[in-house]
């Protein structure tokens, strides 16, 4: 009789612990994760400088101008892609 009573107490305690753990997880508010925004202008400037230096090393003044233009365009596109990569737009069906 005593063994059955001890088992019942253990089962009740285990159920209470499981219930408290489940309720604790539901009561905690969800934390929203926001991705950091990268400036497309900054990407264009950095890309332009890097392209200009690379172009100057390879092809002189004309290469610097071409490299700066190509680097600025590429830097802008890369930053724009990084900003839009994780956006998920849901379309509402009517």
Q: Can you tell me the distance from the alpha carbon of 60 to that of 52, in angstroms, rounded to the nearest whole number? A: 10
Q: Work out the pLDDT band at 13, boundaries 50, 70, 90.
A: confident
- Whole-angstrom Cα distance, residue 21 to residue 13? 12
User: If you ran DSSP here, which 8-state letter would residue 38 be given?
Assistant: -
pLDDT in tens, 14-52: 888 887 777 666 666 666 666 667 777 888 888 898 899
* Ramachandran bin of 60, using left for φ above 0, alpha for ψ from -120 to 50, beta for the remaining angles: left
Element housing 59 (H / E): helix 40-84
CA distance 75 to 67: 12
pTM: 0.51
């Amino acid at each position: 009789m005593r063994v059955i009573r001890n088992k019942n107490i253990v089962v009740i305690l285990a159920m209470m612990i499981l219930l408290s753990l489940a309720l604790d997880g539901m009561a905690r508010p969800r934390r929203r994760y926001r991705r950091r925004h990268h400036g497309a202008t900054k990407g264009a400037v950095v890309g332009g400088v890097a392209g200009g230096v690379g172009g100057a090393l390879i092809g002189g003044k004309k290469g610097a101008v071409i490299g700066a233009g190509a680097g600025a365009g590429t830097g802008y596109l890369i930053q724009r892609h990084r900003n839009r990569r994780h956006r998920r737009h849901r379309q509402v069906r009517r």
